[in-house]
Chain A
Amino acid sequence: MAVVKTLEHFGCSVDFPQAQTCCGQPQFNNGYPQEARPLAERMIRVFKNSAYIVTPSGSCAAMIRDHYPELFKDDPAKHQEALDFAARCYEFVEFLTRVLKVDVSKLTLPDPQRFTYHYTCHLRGLGTTGEPCISLLKQLKGASFIPLEKAEQCCGFGGTFAVKYPDISGAIVRDKVQCGQKTGADVMIVNDGGCAMNIGGACHRQHGDFAVKHIAEVLASAIDAGESR
């Protein structure tokens, strides 16, 4: 609900079409485009009437923007629909900073916290960097920022990769948790569900000291604090 709260705070009206399921990224990435296609059609249909589609997990946005048009390259009508859909689809931070151009400098965290930031790999697909999110963090009152060593090194999630190759994935995510520990931060910001599950799960297993959060959770807590003040 943190995403909803933040978007509404900045003046958006939010809808959640219940018929939505999954964007089909697992299917596509594993070489099953024919399975991904009906899922993509469903998403395009479900969100027909939305002005903007915002995803908290950026990898879904990357899937839609990078691969939906390609899925329908042989069907001009559907290809056009996919292009239209892709053009309306944003990752959460991207939407806040590029479309809404929000100013979060008036928001104050309930308690001061130290943050570090993991660069989630889908940002490459979206053609953006971690800077927009880091600058949001730096504007927040009560937040201090500590850079993460090897921030842009993948966390080792990679969808089915994490399950099929646990040894390799495990070595990569251990590295991420160690780098997180070194920062001494209270919270590592991870703006993707998959990466967050991975880093969070590894951090819990290794008794790490930091929490893994989405930037929306942090913003929503500051908004809550402001409302109750």
Chain B
Amino acid sequence: MTAKAAGSSPGSLRHSLPVFNPDFMREAALTSADEALHTALDNSVTKKDYGRRATLAELPDSDALRTLAGDIKRHTLDNLDYYLAQLEANVQKHGGHVHYALGRDDANQLVIDIARQTNSKLIVKSKSMVSEESELNHALEKAGLEPLETDLGEFILQVDNDHPSHIVMPVIHRNAKDIGRVFERYFKVPYTDDPQSLAEMARVYLRQRFNQADMGISGVNFAIADTGSIVLCTNEGNGRMCTSRPRVHVAIMGMEKIIPEMRDLPIFLKLLARSASGQALTQYTNIITGPRRADEHDGPDEFHLIIMDNGRSRILAGDYRDTLRCIRCGACLNACPIYRKVGGHTYGSVYPGPIGALITPLFNGLAEHKHLPHASSLCGACYEACPVKINIPEMLIHMKKDQIDQGIAGFGEKLIFRLWTTGLRYGWTYRLGQFAQRVGMRLLPHKDGWITRLPGPAKGWTAIRDFPQPPKNNFRTLWNQRRVDRGTPEGKR
């Protein structure tokens, strides 16, 4: 069967990514005051970040491995047309079908079409960020189908109509009590917040559904061009159930998920689980090549691979190609001081954290999420954590410049930076600025050497902390005094 491209509607007719929360500032104000959230995040993401460091340190040279993985990804992206064609040919060789989806609606429609052709109704789903991107569940439900998330976290979110807040640990913003109440309502059972019992409840229910399902949907961690295989890394085993039990398996991937050869896979497997959760490997690693063969007992009758663009070609062609290296491990989220305080939903769309702050505006337009590139202290923890060495801070800076060039930055901000720069460019303006600052600061409200309220655009500083009053004699004054005392002219030591 030849590959077909679905749909003619360009993905640009609506946002590439769904927007759940358009008001970044409001959400950030709420979450950064939510100490229960901070504790929950520290107990999950901060711990995983330490786990990442510890397991990477077990490798002889994890830095070299990250460089290699980044280089392989770069090479793949630079030759993506070649590898896509190779992947397509090899999937077909093993009896699979390949479909291309331009926009996210096209991807959803492809799934609906396959479901109708195969007479599928109950669809079990393994975790997939691309399906979050396309809001697949909504589309399937609208078409009268019955999608069921089988990753425990995603299942909780689905039955409670919530969104993932982390790429790998979707439900970390909810605690056991919370989930207990969700299950009490859904399963109509007495309330419990014992994690073991809650997990068991879901397990029993899902087991039965796996056996009834017509179709299984999975994401793709890696697609291997030279063998036509897809790789799934999961911890709960639900991915294996989804892809082996039902009659039909549909895998959905972003078009950047390719690696060239099977021999590249170990490099990425070594990095993925370590970076994501501090595990040497995930509990389950499935390498799936085509549907069940005639002489095999297990596996689906049909295998479909949907390759989704949804704005990626545009990103590939621009200055931010490196963002497509991302293997969605979530390490940058776990390392990020901002994510640890605002959680995932504050970022407004499907992809949170540093990588989300970067790609969400790329998908939806720089004007749409204008805070995201700014709401970063540029500490560099994300770049340090990234298994494929995406230089996120550098690209965030670049994105701010693009905002300015596109006229998205405010006039007031530009004026401040112009004036500031002029102040720093010449000796006399610098001295004038310093003088004004010293005099001005004496007039401000202060307490034992600390200013308690700054005016104008600087008021954000003293909203949460004091500002040191300039000392009576600054360094320059002391230095000049010393120079006079010692009788040394400037420039001589």
Q: Which of A19, A30, A157, A202 contacts B417 (CB 8 A)?
A: A30
- Tell yes or no: B478 within 8 A of A by CB: yes
Separation in Å of the B355 CB from the closest CB of chain A? 17
A158 touches B417 (CB 8 A): no
Most buried by A among B33, B377, B490: B377
Task: Give a binary string over A116-128; 1 marks a CB under 8 Å from any B CB, 0 the rest.
Answer: 0000010011000
Please, which residues of chain B bring their CB within 8 A of the CB of A49? 491
Does any Cβ of A come within 8 Å of B376's Cβ? yes
Contacts of B340 in A (CB 8 A): 153, 172
Contact partners of B201 in chain A: CB under 8 A: none
Complex Cα distance, B337 from A26, in Å, reads 20
Interface residues of B, count at CB 8 A: 60
Establish whether residues B424 and A171, one from each chain, have CB atoms under 8 Å apart when the complex forms.
no
Judged by a CB distance under 8 angstroms, whether A99 is at the interface is no
Return chain B residues, CB-CB under 8 Å to A162. 377, 460-461
Docked-complex contact B467 and A197, CB < 8 angstroms: yes
A17 B491 Cβ-Cβ under 8 A? yes
Q: How many residues of A contact B (CB 8 A)?
A: 60
Given A18-B476, A27-B417, residue A158 in contact with residue B378 (CB < 8 A): yes
Q: Is the CB of B464 within 8 A of A170?
A: yes
Fill in one digit per residue for A151-182: 1 if any B CB lies within 8 Å of its CB, else 0.
01110111111111111111111110000000
Across-interface contacts of B411 in A (CB, < 8 A): none
Stretch of A8-16, A87-95, A132-140, A219-227 that contacts chain B:
A8-16
Given contacts A1-B475, A162-B461, A171-B33, are A31 and B425 in contact (CB under 8 A)?
Answer: no
Report whether A158 and B421 are in contact in the complex, using a CB–CB cutoff of 8 Å: no
Q: Which residues of B contact A15 (CB under 8 A)?
A: 491-493
Decide if A69 is an interface residue (CB 8 Å cutoff): no
Given A33-B401, A154-B377, A201-B467, residue A168 in contact with residue B342 (CB < 8 A): yes
Binary per-residue interface labels of chain B (402-418) against chain A in the complex, 1 for a CB within 8 Å, 0 otherwise: 11100001000100011
Task: Determine which of B32, B46, B493 lies in contact with A171 in the assembled complex, contact meaning CB atoms within 8 Å.
Answer: B32
Q: Is the CB of A170 within 8 A of B463?
A: yes
Chief secondary structure at chain A's binding surface: helix
B52 at the A/B interface (Cβ < 8 Å)?
Answer: no
Beyond A38-B421, A198-B465, whether A121 also contacts B377 by CB under 8 A is yes
Give 1 or 0 for each of A40-63: 1 = CB within 8 Å of chain B CB: 001000000100000000000000
Report whether A19 and B384 are in contact in the complex, using a CB–CB cutoff of 8 Å.
Answer: no
Docked Cα-Cα span, A164 to B427, in Å, equals 28
Q: B residues 448-493 with Cβ under 8 Å of A?
A: 450, 457-458, 460-461, 463-468, 475-476, 478-480, 482, 490-493
Q: Report yes or no: B465 in contact with A165, Cβ–Cβ below 8 A.
A: no
Residues A121 and B380 in contact, CB atoms below 8 Å apart: yes
- Across-interface contacts of B341 in A (CB, < 8 A): 168, 171-172, 175
Of A18, A175, A204, the contact of B450 (CB 8 Å cutoff): A204
B490: which A residues are within 8 A, CB to CB? 17-18
Known: A121-B381, A150-B46, A171-B33. A31 touches B400 (CB 8 A): yes
B28 at the interface (CB under 8 A from A): yes
Are A201 and B425 touching (Cβ within 8 A)? no
B28 x A165 contact (CB < 8 A): yes
B450 and A21 contact, CB distance less than 8 A = no
Does A22 reach chain B (CB closer than 8 Å)? yes
- Asked if A144 lies at the interface with its beta carbon under 8 angstroms from chain B, I say no
Given contacts A1-B482, A201-B466, 13 further A-B contacts (CB under 8 A): A30-B400, A121-B380, A121-B381, A161-B377, A162-B461, A163-B460, A166-B463, A169-B460, A169-B464, A171-B32, A175-B38, A201-B450, A205-B465
CB<8 Å pairs between A and B, sample of 17: A13-B493, A21-B427, A28-B397, A30-B417, A33-B401, A42-B425, A124-B384, A150-B46, A153-B46, A154-B337, A161-B376, A162-B377, A163-B457, A164-B460, A168-B341, A171-B33, A198-B465
